[in-house]
Each structure stands twice: as structure tokens, then as C-alpha cells.
Amino acid sequence: MKKINSWDDITIGQYQEIKSIPETNNKITKFIETLSIIFDVDPNYIRNLPMNEYKELVQQTQFLEDEPQSTIEKIIAIDGKRYGLIPKFPFITAGEFMDAESWKDKPIENLHYLTALIYRPIVKEDGDTYEIQKHIDEGFEERANLFRDKVSIETVMGGNLFFSIIEMTYLEDTLTSLTEDMKREMDLN
């Protein structure tokens, strides 16, 4: 079996599978299902392990008791290609905002799409600054699936957490600005 030591070893797709395991009163069954997902083995394989090997797996995967840590990586590399986090969140396009809004009701299920939205291929790079590809349909689904299968959940949780905070701040600023505009308009009348 492959070595799994932290959430950093778990992909977006695996995390989505883990979160889709039905809630049950039997925590051991749920844990075995989780182990089968992260080690990519049949649940019966886990059930048939000698007890000492099962205990080793339990120790190795104690990190599962906590949620993934939020780390923000501005640039990630997959298969030799570099992807950059949207560099200027306050200047996201209406299309980017609408797509993010359409996925927010099922954030775990759509995590790979959100990731493909906020991390895009770098088209120009100069030192610490970079420019990313515009948000387009062409290649989007393939990139989302690539991220689902190859990007660590810790990378994503940080980027998506960052995006959510920025989005809330942006919406608050927009509402404040609209309220001030309405007050000025009313004062003029």
C-alpha cells in the first residue's frame, strides 16, 4: 500500500469520496471505508488485515481526526505545468463570480470546479508576478478533473478558504458602496 502521512497526501477526489460516505452509527465501518478510499483498496482488504497491521494504519492515519489545514499556495505545479491562483480577487470577472455562485450550494461536490476556477494555467511569469489564462470553457472540465485527481486537499482548502474570505469582503464592500450611493441619491432628491 502507498504511504499516507497527512492530508497533503489526499487528493480533492479522495476527500470528496470521504465526505460522501453516508453517516452511520458504526464509526469503525466509516473508518474502514475512509481507509479503503485513501489507500485505494477494497474495504474487505482492510477488514482482513492482521490486527497489528490494522493498528499501524490507524496510527499512520491519525491526521484524519482533524480537518485539513488551510495553506495558501499561489502557484501549484502538476505534471510540469504551472497554475497560478487568481492574483487579484477584487477584480474577478462577472463570469467568474457567477460560476463560483453556482457551485457554492454543494461546495465539497464542486470543489474541483472551484479549484479550476481559482487556479489557472500561468501564461506569463516574471519573478513573483504572473498572469493566468482567462476564465474560458475550453479545457475547463479537463483541468477540473486533473485537479480532482492530482491536487492535495490541503492546497485546495487554503485557496478556497482564501477565495471565500475575499468574496465576502468584496460583497460587503459592494453593499456598502451601493448603500452610500443610495443615500447620496436620496439626499439629492
Evaluate if residue 186 carries a pLDDT over 80. Answer: no
Please state the rounded mean pLDDT for residues 129-151: 93
Q: Which stretch, 1-10, 21-30, 136-145, has highest mean pLDDT?
A: 136-145
Average pLDDT of the chain, as a whole number: 82
Which helix (DSSP H) or strand (DSSP E) does residue 88 occupy? none
Per the confidence metrics, is the pTM higher than 0.85? Answer: no
- The crossing angle, in degrees rounded to 10, of helices 111-118 and 12-19 is 150
Could you tell me the CA-to-CA distances from 149 to 11, 81, 90, 94, 180 in Å, in that order? 6, 15, 29, 28, 46
Q: Which three cell numbers stand for residue 112?
A: 474541483
CA gap 13, 156 in Å, rounded: 11
Q: Which of 70, 61, 46, 65 is nearest to 5 (CA)?
A: 61
CA gap 90, 186 in Å, rounded: 28
Whether 74 contacts 83, CB under 8 Å? no
Evaluate if residue 17 carries a pLDDT over 90. Answer: yes
Q: What pLDDT, on a 0 to 100 scale, did the predictor assign at position 155?
A: 83
CA gap 189, 181 in Å, rounded: 13
Residue 157 CA, chain-centre distance (Å), reads 5
Please state the rounded mean pLDDT for residues 7-11: 92
Evaluate if residue 171 carries a pLDDT over 70. Answer: no
